[in-house]
Amino acid sequence: MPQVRIVAKNFMDMVAALPTMRLDKLYESIFICEAVLRSLTPLAKKYVVQMLYVDFPVTSKSMEEGVLPEGLSKHRVAIEQLLHLRVFLETTDRKKETSYKMNPKFQSNMRKYLLHGGVLPRVSMPLGVTVRLPTLEDLESYAQKQWERFLLQLINSAQAERLLNFSSSMIRVFQRGLLSSRENEDPRLTENGFQFLLMDTNAQLWYIIREYITTSEDRGVDPADLISFLLELSFHSLGEAYNMNSLTDVQSKAIKDLADLGVVKLQQGRKESWFIPTKLATNLSVSLSDSSSRKQGFVVVETNFRMYAYSTSKLHSEILRLFSRIEYQLPNLIVGAITKESLYAAFENGITSDQIISFLQQNAHPRVAERLPTVPENVTDQIRLWETDRNRVEMTPSHFYEDFPSKEVFETASDFAREVGGLLWEDSQKMRLIVRGELHQQMRDFLRRSK
């Protein structure tokens, strides 16, 4: 069954996938170099510091000399990561001995960073110029609301608000695997779209950002320039205002697209306009494995398959409807049940039992999040059993044939169905056949000719 896959766990995977020339060009920016350094494993960071002021190649053999046998696998992972990102360049001498040297551009910028420290990408606007800026609490609330409206638009629910008009760039991202549209029909969620809705916010953001970058060339934008700006954006201070006039045309368009997602908030003054990064922006340089950005859970599942969700969010209600039966809803409480019928509907849409269980575990209410298991075992086992039970039976459209005029006609029809690969079952004594449905017209034509 196809599933949504996050190919890039963070920007570093996307950076490494760039062509060599574009990747080396990125390393002309101190921000990119600093972001790469932050993303490395502890051992890889140690090797960078060791090699920072070494201007000659170091053999792989000499680097392995100080590694204990139990640490050899970590050493190889670190070296592979550094080579993958072209932080280390591999050379081979006449004796076919492998050596490593640091990428000159990366090395030069990291030396500057070490000596002079980091400098913010751009200076924030003075308070005297901007209007009253939102508090961090207001900004987080805005980002959450904007992100929920974004997902509600994707769900295409009757309850979803239609006030937000997304840019054409974001619509293309929607349609790339999450939505399908047929002629004279409204767009519908694909299997990937349903699976996407069960991801945590950090994973969802990365999926959208990845697709946004992937489609950038269709908009005439260099992916390297976009990656560079998005990484730079993650170094901006949360809640500070930055002048829109300091952006290039490409960056300005990207900021407006990101505002749709709640990554930044746009404000307009009398003469100037500015953008304010939200927490989603500062998470752009964070790996998916970092759980610090995940929100507090809200779901309690009981052993009798009853489910209580302590939430006022329309989005939470719509997501829970994907795999459960909502019985009633109070202002701050959603009550439902996980049933065989609701799960079968979810499986039909391409959602798997593991994704449902993972969603319930990741969003467990704090009262139950501390206990193990967070979701009762009888519930998780039954969810998996219902999926297995459904997958045991394969439905094949077919046609049943009987009342043949003679044994000869029956055997001729049986042989024909077997030759074309459509015979599913036969009973030679009672002269009955079952043939694949798509071959029904061929069977009818053959039987008419056989009369």
State the residue range of the domain holding 330.
296-392
Task: Tell me the two tokens of residue 76.
Answer: 């190889």
Q: Residue 96 CA to chain centroid, in angstroms? A: 42
Domain shared by 86 and 221, yes or no: no
Q: What are phi and psi of 227, to 5 degrees?
A: -60, -45
Domain shared by 249 and 145, yes or no: yes
- Please report whether residue 361 resides in a domain: yes
Domain shared by 149 and 267, yes or no: yes
What is the count of structural domains for the chain? 4
Domain shared by 142 and 258, yes or no: yes
Domain shared by 367 and 407, yes or no: no
- Please report whether residue 2 resides in a domain: no
Domain shared by 380 and 320, yes or no: yes
- Please report whether residue 440 resides in a domain: yes
Domain boundary among 392, 407, 431: 392
Strands in 232-391 per DSSP E: 242-243, 264-268, 273-277, 299-301, 306-309, 325-330, 333-337
Alpha carbons 151 and 213: distance in angstroms, whole number:
19
Domain shared by 140 and 243, yes or no: yes
Domain shared by 264 and 309, yes or no: no
Domain shared by 31 and 143, yes or no: no
Q: What pairing do the DSSP bridges indicate for beta strands 242-243 and 325-330?
A: unpaired
Residues 386 and 354: beta-carbon distance below 8 Å:
no
Domain shared by 379 and 268, yes or no: no
375-200-80 Cα angle (round to 5): 110
Domain boundary among 230, 251, 285: 285
Domain boundary among 244, 265, 285: 285
Domain shared by 159 and 241, yes or no: yes
- Please report whether residue 327 resides in a domain: yes
- Please report whether residue 290 resides in a domain: no
- Please report whether residue 4 resides in a domain: no
- Please report whether residue 126 resides in a domain: no
84: CATH: 1.10.10
- Please report whether residue 411 resides in a domain: yes
Domain shared by 154 and 275, yes or no: yes
Print pLDDT tens along the chain (451 aa). 344 444 445 567 778 888 888 888 889 888 888 888 888 889 999 999 999 999 999 999 999 988 888 889 999 999 999 999 999 999 988 888 999 999 999 999 999 988 887 666 788 888 777 778 899 999 999 998 988 888 887 776 433 444 356 777 777 777 777 877 666 666 677 888 888 888 888 788 888 888 888 888 888 898 888 888 888 888 888 899 999 998 999 999 999 999 988 999 999 888 889 999 998 887 776 654 454 444 678 999 999 999 999 999 888 999 999 999 999 999 999 999 999 999 999 998 889 999 999 999 989 999 998 888 999 999 999 999 999 988 776 778 898 988 888 888 888 888 888 888 888 889 888 889 999 888 888 888 888 887 6
Residue in this structure with the two tokens 């500057």, named with its chain if needed: 112
Amino acid at 14: M
414: CATH: 3.30.70.2610
